[in-house]
A and B are shown apart, each in its own frame.
Chain A
């Protein structure tokens, strides 16, 4: 079952490039000895990955992706980097770009570029979808701060939903740095999220602040660039989108995963936690065991930590004391040696989930004996929980305070948005926050 990736805007294209790079490296670039699986199983894995993410065209492996941006520089850079890696390429015909950007203006991306370009972009998506034997769904990569990724991304998601009502759509959104990359990022974020909530099946949130912390504290990178951050994001995405099997041997197709993770349409926000993360040099010297990894991961979930350092062990699963992080559903992905021996019962604890959900159904675990990306054991947790609430609250606070002073609003109205649209978006997100708070 194939997944078509849509890379929207500068961020979407840059993250997408690293995502495919990570998959290609993990799949094609690992020696058989390190993989921990027999040759036949490895070959089966490679075939699965190829079917899922790549198509064989004109003798080379092309990513199943459509690249969209309003200006040509980023797409050109991403394509060149892919070619340079030698492992895969992007299809030059599956790219759409214009000359002029969206100017960080959501209204410009959504209303102006949306109506102008949607036909051509949908044609490209249709072509890519037809290449798949069986289409599972769409994976859209976009940022929340800019104009193209957020505005045009939201518009295209709506169009895709209309064209392909039976496919699954997951949107990966990049949350900008708290102290700002773009001044109107809070407006753009609020407008995008409220629109995505209508048309997407799941919204996977990745925060730049947290990824940067991982780079500096765990990977020991001194001068962190955006491509370092994107590598971390690519690693996390690949760790759960690469093939794996559940206990009853069903494969982790997008639909299966989303059906489990999003049981209720009002709760669509997902976050990822992956361990371990360490710099190249340290990997050879560490010997970590599954019980340790599971324990850390559980506490990361409960205490809402994004990485394995600085976890607050004081937060416990009890109704008195510090409030802990409640979840709707969790999916655990275990890869590497001895995955069958892992005890995951800590994730099945009923106190983690609301009382109106049966706790046995709340955890899905997927395993693969094959090691992932040089880590001999790695675990990834995708959860539908209260984790994004703090950042979401923060963003709405700032956006609301700007809105009450009517700052920058004239720039959005210039392109056709109305003040009611703003209010609708605020109302939608306040509802989302309330739903999650009441878990």
Chain B
């Protein structure tokens, strides 16, 4: 069984990461009734003996040892202490080791250059050491998950620095990045700069990027919702409309099923009167990570390992931006909502309302699509749905049957089955084009550039090079999308003389 390490950088990264660890613990605790430390748990957690001051690692062995104390295989990085301190004061503090945290006080001021160049140089040794320690404790490390936002300073700057570091020091280990892109209306004015500068690093150093569009957040942690255009906000709104009772639910711990801490994704967070759907949105993103790795952890009749995801969904090296969608939606595991019929679940997954970025994959060209199914679904159900949906989706001509299927026997907590689709679709270039336009609007005037160039080692060429890199990625996707209606003529096959 392989292990993965999660590196969470910046405020957004740490908040999503925190939700992820919460969900992972719930999942394992509900499935692992005997409390034995087996391979599945070891993929994300270490079993330690806390009697020693440097907690001693207990290996899996024959999978029959009891769990003593679990520590997450995670590295938490943030240049200001607020979020990490909150985590360490909250219910999950036992899961993180103080040695896995790297914090500073003053933050990065929404400035990619400060995050990447200044803090990068300052903390390079420490970050490298911490990651090395985590990696050495793994039997067989398969991949790194890096979670960060693109709009801020720490997440985008230091996050992309960490990615660079991982590429240099661990070239054979896969790097999956969950990047939270700023929305169209964002209160951080320099977010386009930060995003484009970070994107160039992602294009060069990541194996796979899962872009997520969230509402924006400023560095003081206040969350504000702008308009109705953000994808995740929309999803959560849709759910709240479907079940108005949910919006007012405070704590229904009286009932066993509804609202029980195990089955809903948000136990441990007390919702205030002015409920912010922020946690629910982080929930959805965290669930994506959980479901992606489920097949690698649990058994199934068609296992999909993480290296298979990169192999099948990335046809050309730079085009590794994958659109994800998930059904049923997790911020609501309320039994009052009837479980969707299986076929409906498949149809929903391809509608534009369920995608984690604001894009419509049905009207664009699919390069490849992976279906990760969990629970009581058989291969014939999947075949039937693929045949049904095939006609309404457009696949590129050399990959007409570009489906990758994975079946995991273990259903997610509180649901009979679930579906995660990960697709490489040309609709991402619309999102990136929007980003590039916002960048160019500022860059034309050289607005705010001096904040960046002040920082040591930051050159003006970094801006132009990043813009170029983004443009070329957009162009590659556009060229392929042009083939949506007239495929390029293919070469004739080899002839035997």
Let me know if A45 is at the binding interface, CB within 8 A. no
Let me know if A39 is at the binding interface, CB within 8 A. no
B 401-440 binary contact with A (CB < 8 Å = 1; else 0): 1111100000000000000000000000000000000000
Nearest A-chain residue to B397, judged by Cβ: A401
On chain B, which size bracket covers the interface?
35 or more
| A398 and B493 alpha carbons, distance in the complex (Å) | 11
A 234-264 binary contact with B (CB < 8 Å = 1; else 0): 0000000000000000000000000000000
Which residues of chain A from 276 to 326 have a CB within 8 Å of any chain B CB? none
A350 CB to closest chain B CB (Å) equals 27
Let me know if A418 is at the binding interface, CB within 8 A. no
| A224 and B302 alpha carbons, distance in the complex (Å) | 14
**Stretch of A20-28, A84-92, A154-162, A174-182 with 4 or more beta carbons under 8 angstroms from chain B:** A174-182
Interface residues of B (CB under 8 A from A): 1-2, 39, 139-140, 142, 299, 301-303, 305, 307-308, 310-317, 368, 378-381, 383, 386-387, 390, 397-405, 488, 490-491, 493-496
Q: Which residues of A contact B402 (CB under 8 A)?
A: 180, 183
From known contacts A99-B1, A223-B378, infer whether A180 and B401 are also in contact, taking CB-CB under 8 Å: yes
From known contacts A179-B401, A224-B379, infer whether A184 and B311 are also in contact, taking CB-CB under 8 Å: yes
Q: Which residues of B contact A408 (CB under 8 A)?
A: 311, 314-315
From known contacts A100-B140, A224-B379, A411-B314, infer whether A396 and B2 are also in contact, taking CB-CB under 8 Å: no
Q: Which residues of A contact B379 (CB under 8 A)?
A: 212, 224-226, 229
Q: Which residues of A contact B488 (CB under 8 A)?
A: 405
Nearest B-chain residue to A437, judged by Cβ: B496
Q: Could you jot down 11 A-B contacts, CB within 8 Å?
A: A71-B303, A100-B140, A103-B311, A105-B311, A179-B387, A181-B405, A182-B404, A212-B383, A224-B380, A225-B301, A408-B314
Is A178 a contact partner of B401 (Cβ separation < 8 A)? Answer: yes
Residue from A183, A224, A423 in contact with B404 in the complex, judged by beta carbons closer than 8 Å: A183
Let me know if A392 is at the binding interface, CB within 8 A. no
Q: Which residues of B contact A184 (CB under 8 A)?
A: 311-312
Is A224 a contact partner of B496 (Cβ separation < 8 A)? Answer: no
Is A101 a contact partner of B490 (Cβ separation < 8 A)? Answer: no
Residue from B1, B307, B368 in contact with A103 in the complex, judged by beta carbons closer than 8 Å: B307
A176 CB to closest chain B CB (Å) equals 10
Interface residues of A (CB under 8 A from B): 10, 14, 71-74, 77, 99-105, 147, 177-184, 212, 216, 223-227, 229, 396-398, 400-402, 404-408, 410-411, 423, 426-427, 430-431, 434
Is A427 a contact partner of B494 (Cβ separation < 8 A)? Answer: yes
Is B305 a contact partner of A226 (Cβ separation < 8 A)? Answer: no
Nearest A-chain residue to B377, judged by Cβ: A223
Residue from B313, B386, B495 in contact with A179 in the complex, judged by beta carbons closer than 8 Å: B386
Nearest B-chain residue to A103, judged by Cβ: B307
How many contacts A-B (CB < 8 Å)?
A: 135
Residue from B140, B313, B368, B387 in contact with A99 in the complex, judged by beta carbons closer than 8 Å: B140
Q: Which residues of B contact A99 (CB under 8 A)?
A: 1-2, 139-140
Is B398 a contact partner of A182 (Cβ separation < 8 A)? Answer: no
Q: Which residues of A contact B398 (CB under 8 A)?
A: 398, 401-402, 404-405, 407
Nearest 7 interchain pairs by C-beta: A103-B307, A99-B140, A407-B315, A224-B380, A180-B403, A180-B401, A183-B312
A212 CB to closest chain B CB (Å) equals 7
Q: Which residues of A contact B315 (CB under 8 A)?
A: 407-408
Q: Which residues of B contact A426 (CB under 8 A)?
A: 493-494
Residue from B303, B307, B405, B495 in contact with A74 in the complex, judged by beta carbons closer than 8 Å: B303
Is B142 a contact partner of A407 (Cβ separation < 8 A)? Answer: no
| A138 and B182 alpha carbons, distance in the complex (Å) | 59
Is B383 a contact partner of A177 (Cβ separation < 8 A)? Answer: yes
Q: Which residues of B contact A104 (CB under 8 A)?
A: 307-308, 311-312
A336 CB to closest chain B CB (Å) equals 31
Q: Which residues of B contact A183 (CB under 8 A)?
A: 312-313, 368, 399, 402-404
* Given A99-B139, A100-B307, A396-B493, 16 additional A-B pairs, CB 8 A: A10-B303, A73-B299, A103-B310, A103-B311, A177-B383, A180-B402, A184-B311, A225-B301, A227-B301, A400-B490, A401-B397, A401-B490, A405-B488, A408-B315, A410-B316, A430-B496
